[in-house]
């Protein structure tokens, strides 16, 4: 994991397991795999406003 971990990791006692983003060759998004106990979750955010993930986020915000 890069040194810039998401702010939610420490307060929630969540472990960062994996990261993909510009530093790892993924140029259009950043993804984090987080774990707390037996639960794992992947958080992904687009790095550009014209990415398809951005459209999904905009649609969810409008719902």
0.95 surpassed by pTM = no
Q: In this predicted structure, what is the pLDDT of residue 19?
A: 94
What's the CA gap between 21 and 42, in Å, rounded?
A: 13
Q: What does the domain layout of the chain look like in residue ranges?
A: 15-62
* Residue-wise pLDDT tens digits, 21-61: 999 999 999 999 999 899 999 999 999 989 888 888 888 87
42-61 core/surface letters (b: 16 or more CB in 10 A; e: else): eebebeeeeeeeeeeeeeee
What's the CA gap between 34 and 63, in Å, rounded?
A: 26
One DSSP character per residue, 10-43 reads TTTTPEEEEEESGGGT--SEEEEEEEETTEEEEE
């Amino acid at each position: 994991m890069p040194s810039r971990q998401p702010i939610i990791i420490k307060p929630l006692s969540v472990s960062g397991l994996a990261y993909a983003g510009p530093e790892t060759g993924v140029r259009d998004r950043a993804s984090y795999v987080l774990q707390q106990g037996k639960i794992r979750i992947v958080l992904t955010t687009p790095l550009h406003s014209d990415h398809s993930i951005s459209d999904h986020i905009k649609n969810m915000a409008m719902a």
